[in-house]
Each structure stands twice: as structure tokens, then as C-alpha cells.
């Protein structure tokens, strides 16, 4: 990623869930020996993950623009650059949109979308200047297809997909890539924290370690789009090619 120097990866949401699993996967890459910058809100958990992976914990909250800017500044001060950003932090809420508290909507938009955009804005210029780098945005199938009773969450994740696609066009020819990761359900504390357990029969939750491996592969092999599990690419294509039948199936099977 950066010549003979050990590449630097900044991972958000690293104190638990997908971010924690991604940190563990990158720390196990003996060939590249990544330098890990781990961002999260839970300082205790973050410290544990940092000790286990050999990374450096950077406490930060993506909900606040000033906090995002401080996080980016600390990351650049610590290592001088960021070669890869894995934006894995995210929060959810389940229930009818009309019953979603306004403050929940605002925080979801901030953490899942605008905070990510501000962080990318802070680290992307260095990648472009050096002529190498990758931005990995952990979105969701909810952002691609929409999900009943998760309208606000789906909107934030759909925004990430549009952001990723637009950035790819802007960055053409720079050797800086953008990966959109589209998991279905992932086996993490996410559902417990949103207050509603996962109840659908399919897709079955993907182990966090499996998703982390796909994220790592997307960086190493420069992949622009990752579905997890892989078969979710088929309903995604169906929605694009035959939206009517797709919506009928979605209403019937959830």
C-alpha cells in the first residue's frame, strides 16, 4: 500500500462487532504487518481490542463533526498518513418510521452517513496525493433494497452506497479505490443494541469473522463491491432488473 513502509489502516467501530473483527483480521496479516488505528466510543473495550491486536486506540464519536475532525487529526498525527479507511461504525433502530424518535433519526444519520463523509473528507486528500489508498464503506443490504420498519437506517446505508459510487467516478485514475460492503445480517451485538432481535429466517447472520475476512480481501485484491453472503448479489440484481417482481417477493417473504 505504501511502498516498503508498513501500511496504516484506520478502523471505526473497532471496540466491538464488525470493527473489532476487522481489526483482528488485519492484525493477523503477517505479510503486510498493518499498523492499526482503532477508533471507537467504548474506551475500555477499545483498549482491550488494541492490546489484543497490537493497534492504537483512538476514542472518538462520529456523531459530532468536531469529534470526527479531532479523530482524523489524531490518526494523522499518530502515523503521518492513513492508507486504508474501514468505516465500520454504525447504529440502528427498528420500528415504524412514524414512531422513530427524531433524535434517533438525527444520530443515525450523523453516525452512519455524515460522520463517515466527514472522516473520508479528512483522510482522502492524502491518499490522492500519494497515489494509493482505499476507502471501505460498510453499508448494508437494507441500503440497497430497503427494509420495512428500518426506513431511517436503510436511508443512511443507501446514502453510503451512492457516496461510494460517486467517489469512484471522482477518483478514476488516482489509484485510490472505494469498496462498498453489503452484508445481510451479521452476528454481532448490533441487534441487541437497537432493541429488537433479528427475526428473519433468511439471510442467516454471517459470522463477524467471515465478514472481516471479506473486508480484508476487498482491500488486498482491490474489490469495489462485496456481498455477504455472496448469494445476496442475486436478489440485488433482481431488484435492479425487475423491481416489480422483487417488491412482490419482498412484501411476501420479508
Using only the alpha carbons of the chain, give its radius of gyration: 18
**C-alpha–C-alpha distance, residues 208 and 128, integer Å:** 30
Our CA angle for 96, 97, 99, nearest 5°, is: 70
Range in 4-8, 26-30, 245-249 with the lowest mean pLDDT? 245-249
pLDDT of residue 185: 83
Q: When comparing pLDDT for 25 and 189, which is higher?
A: 25
The DSSP result for 141-161, as a single string, is: HHHHH--TT-HHHHHHHHHHH
| pLDDT, tens only, 50-79 | 999 999 999 999 999 999 999 999 999 999
Instruction: Find the mean pLDDT for residues 180-199.
Output: 79
Active site residue 221: no
Q: Active-site residue among 153, 169, 198, 221?
A: 153
- Biggest alpha carbon distance in the chain? 54
**C-alpha–C-alpha distance, residues 101 and 213, integer Å:** 35
| Contact (CB, 8 A) for 160 and 112 | yes
Q: How confident is the model at residue 146 (pLDDT cuts 50, 70, 90)?
A: confident
pTM above 0.75, yes or no: yes
CATH number of the structural domain 8-253: 3.40.50.720
Among 188, 180, 218, residue whose Cα is nearest residue 20:
188
pLDDT of 246 over the 90 cut: no
Domain spans of the chain? Answer: 8-253
Amino acid at each position: 500500500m505504501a511502498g516498503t513502509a508498513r501500511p496504516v489502516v484506520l478502523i471505526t467501530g473497532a471496540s466491538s462487532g464488525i470493527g473489532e473483527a476487522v481489526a483482528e483480521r488485519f492484525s493477523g496479516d503477517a505479510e503486510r504487518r498493518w499498523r492499526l488505528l482503532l477508533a471507537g466510543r467504548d474506551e475500555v473495550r477499545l483498549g482491550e481490542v488494541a492490546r489484543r491486536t497490537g493497534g492504537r486506540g483512538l476514542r472518538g464519536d462520529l456523531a459530532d463533526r468536531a469529534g470526527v475532525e479531532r479523530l482524523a487529526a489524531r490518526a494523522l498525527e499518530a502515523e503521518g498518513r492513513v492508507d486504508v479507511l474501514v468505516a465500520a461504525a454504525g447504529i440502528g433502530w427498528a420500528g415504524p418510521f412514524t414512531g422513530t424518535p427524531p433524535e434517533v433519526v438525527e444520530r443515525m444519520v450523523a453516525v452512519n452517513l455524515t460522520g463517515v463523509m466527514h472522516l473520508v473528507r479528512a483522510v482522502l486528500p492524502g491518499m490522492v496525493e500519494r497515489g494509493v489508498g482505499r476507502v471501505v464503506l460498510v453499508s448494508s443490504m437494507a441500503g440497497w433494497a430497503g427494509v420495512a420498519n428500518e426506513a431511517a437506517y436503510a436511508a443512511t446505508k443507501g446514502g453510503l452506497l451512492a457516496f461510494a459510487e460517486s467517489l469512484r467516478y471522482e477518483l478514476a485514475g488516482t489509484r485510490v479505490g472505494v469498496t462498498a460492503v453489503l452484508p445481510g445480517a451479521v452476528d454481532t451485538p448490533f441487534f441487541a443494541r437497537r432493541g429488537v432481535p433479528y427475526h428473519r429466517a433468511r439471510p442467516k447472520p454471517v459470522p463477524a469473522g467471515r465478514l472481516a475476512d471479506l473486508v480484508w480481501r476487498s482491500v488486498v485484491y482491490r474489490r469495489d463491491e462485496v456481498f455477504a453472503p455472496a448469494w445476496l448479489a442475486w436478489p440485488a440484481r433482481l431488484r435492479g432488473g425487475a423491481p416489480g417482481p422483487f417488491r412482490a417477493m419482498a412484501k411476501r417473504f420479508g
